[in-house]
Amino acid sequence: MKRVLALMGSPRKGKNTDKMLDYFLEGIGENNLEINKIYLRDKDIGHCTGCDYCGKTGTCVKKDGMDDIYSEFDHSDIIILAAPVYFNSINSMAKAMVDRCQKYWSVKYSLKGEYKNTEDRKGIFLSSGGAILEHDQFNGSIAVMDYFFRAINANYIGNYFVSNTDNHPVFDREDVKKELYDIGKNILKQKDFYIHS
């Protein structure tokens, strides 16, 4: 059975980003997949200090809440990160988790090892922003996500962005709910998508 890792990176439970992820997971649930949703706010995740321990050993020197997430990365076929945009990139809680994935870069490039490079894994990014829609509103986060999914060897197949949530919250948007549900329902055959509502 395929496994889905859904990382909820917003510090706010039950709000815009969390609702987006739930709608998406409801659709995925139609596929009888094993789903593990993790709230990053419930994990003690320290910051990467650039110590290069992983560059020598392939493992992170810190022992904290990332250990569970590393294990989930190792056993998941679909990885979803849902994180709001703060200052034109993902929020700091989600970014701390991404930074701690330096160990995967080290395994592949410093140590010339392999990590999940023969598997067809999918990576999806969901994000919300309070500001009124602008064409480049999510650009900073896309660059971070591209590198993140490459580090963990997941094919970055899609983005779903919702703007103007300060005035029109996600839970008042039936169009968003339906689109996210439908994409999730079709996730196994989904090739790529980019939707900005």
Report, in this order, helix, strand and coil percent for the chain, each rounded to 5: 40, 20, 40
Whole-number average pLDDT of the chain? 92
Range with the poorest average pLDDT among 116-125, 156-165, 171-180: 116-125
Nearest to 148 by CA among 191, 193, 103: 103
3-state secondary structure of 11: coil
What is the rounded CA–CA span in Å between residue 162 and residue 99?
A: 24
- For residue 9, give the H/E element and its range: none
Residues in Cβ contact with 106 at an 8 Å cutoff, skipping those fewer than 6 apart: 52, 54, 55, 58
For 51-106, strand residue ranges (E) read 78-82, 85-86, 89-90
Residue 191, pLDDT score? 77
Higher pLDDT, 192 or 91: 91
Per-residue pLDDT reduced to its tens digit, 119-148: 789 999 999 987 886 668 888 999 999 999
Which tokens go with 47?
């910051």
**What was the pLDDT predicted at 95?**
97
pLDDT tens, residue by residue, 31-82: 999 999 999 999 999 999 999 999 999 999 999 999 999 999 999 999 999 9
